[in-house]
Structures are given as structure tokens and as C-alpha cells.
Amino acid sequence: MSTAWYSSDCKGQRNETTRRIEAEVLRICKWENPVRSAIILVGLVASIVLTQRYSLLQIITGALTIAITVNLVYVFGTQFTQTVISDRPSTHPWSNVLENKDADLLNKESAVHYSSIVVDVAETVARAVTRIVLIEDRNTSLKWLAIFFTTWRISAYVPSRILILLFIISAFIFPRLYISNKDLIDARLHQGQAILNSQLQRTQEFASAKLATAKEATQSYVDKTKSAVESKTNTTLNANTSTTSVPSQKLD
């Protein structure tokens, strides 16, 4: 009983975490906070461009080089100012961080919290993929089949980084465009859906008519073949019967 309660509680917690993440991502893509959305967009695009031009080792060593250089200039300038201009003993500007041995640079509680979020998101994605692959809903599976097939074919000609870059930019552009032109886009979508449904209805009717015609032709052919076989069988039986009924002649 306790195990079932724990399982349902974890599932509810995961669903709640997933809903919060989805709402947060949607707020970012809708540009509800323009400064934050711009920073995230620039950061994502910059990271993709950098990883395309430079290796991960180059990025890490380059970032450490810049950080050390900036802090070297900052520490030297601060200590020089304290010694020469202020005429007082210099102190290290980062002494409060370096001398605080009890402070944790990595918060264990935050690490556990974010690790739990990653696990929850991974579980949600795995369940969604399972439902798509095992065809829980036919329309949803067909939609994702079209998306995956199109991406698979395009990726044969376009580099993956370009596709990811286009996806990120689209995710930040299209939601805002949709909100700005919601009525027009909805009208166009309804119009396109009506045309698509009409074409599907016509295709279904055409296929049904052709299937009925083929069924009738097949049934007619089967009937003719059956009649021919029966007629041939009857003719053979009649011939055998006539041969058997001929009287034998007596010898003088």
C-alpha cells in the first residue's frame, strides 16, 4: 500500500514538475519578459555558433584564459590603487570568498533539486515517446511520424547544427507571431483544415468506389469461373454416363 502511494505521489510530482517547466518554456518563447528571452536566445545561438567553429576543449580553455586575465588585471589594479592612491595596506579583493572555508561553492540541495528535475523531464519524455511509438493515439503518432520522417530526410542534406539553430529561432519567433496574428492564423488554419478534410473525404469516396468496383469484378469473375467449372464437370459426367449405358452386342 505504501509502495503504491509512493509511486503515485512521485508520478504526481513529476507531472507537476513537467507542467511547471512547460509553462516556463512557454513564457520564455512568448517573450513575456523580453530581456530574459533575449538573453536566453542570444546564449543559445552563441553556444551553437561557438561549438560549430570551436571544439569544447577550445571553448573551456579560452573561457578560463579570459577569466584569469580579467581577474589578474582586476586584482592587480585594486591592490595597486589601495597601496599607491589610498596609502593603505592592500587586501585581496576576493578575500571574503577565498578565506571562507565553510562556504560551499556548489550547493548540494540545489544539485539534488536540479538532478530531480532532469530525471522528471527524462521520465516524461520517455513516456511520451513510448506512447507515440506504441500508437496510443493514431493521429498523434501519424503527426510525429511525418515530423520525424521530414527531419530525417532533411538532415541528410542540412547539417544538424543548422537544423537545431532554425528550430530554436523558430521557437522564439512563431509563438509571438501567432499571438500577434491569432485571428488571421486561426482562420487560415481552419480553412486549410476544411480543404484537407474535403480532399480526404473525396479520396476516401474514390477509394471506396474503386474497391466496390473491383469487388464486383472479382465476384463476377469468380462466378463465371465457377459456372464454367461446373458446366465442364457436368459435361464430363454426362459423357461418362452415355459411354456406360451403350448395350454390348451378342456374338452369333
Q: What is the mean pLDDT of residues 10-19?
A: 65
Average pLDDT in the chain = 79
Query: Which of the two residues, 39 and 178, has the higher pLDDT score?
Result: 39
Residues with Cβ within 8 Å of 231's Cβ and at least 6 positions away in sequence, in order, are none
Domain boundaries along the sequence of the chain = 111-157, 161-228
pTM, 2 dp? 0.56
Residue 244 has pLDDT above 80, yes or no: no
Q: What is the mean pLDDT of residues 81-102?
A: 74
Q: Tell me the per-residue pLDDT of 130-160, one tens digit each, with 9 for 90 and over.
A: 998 998 888 888 888 998 999 899 988 988 8
Structural contact between residues 18 and 120, judged by C-beta atoms closer than 8 angstroms: yes
* Structure confidence at residue 208 (pLDDT): 83
The three grid cell numbers given for residue 37, joined into one nine-digit string:
528571452
Q: Tell me the per-residue pLDDT of 172-194, one tens digit each, with 9 for 90 and over.
A: 888 877 777 777 777 777 787 78
Residues with Cβ within 8 Å of 171's Cβ and at least 6 positions away in sequence, in order, are 29
pLDDT interval class at 3 (50, 70, 90): very low
Percent of the chain whose pLDDT exceeds 90: 8
Q: What is the mean pLDDT of residues 65-83?
A: 88
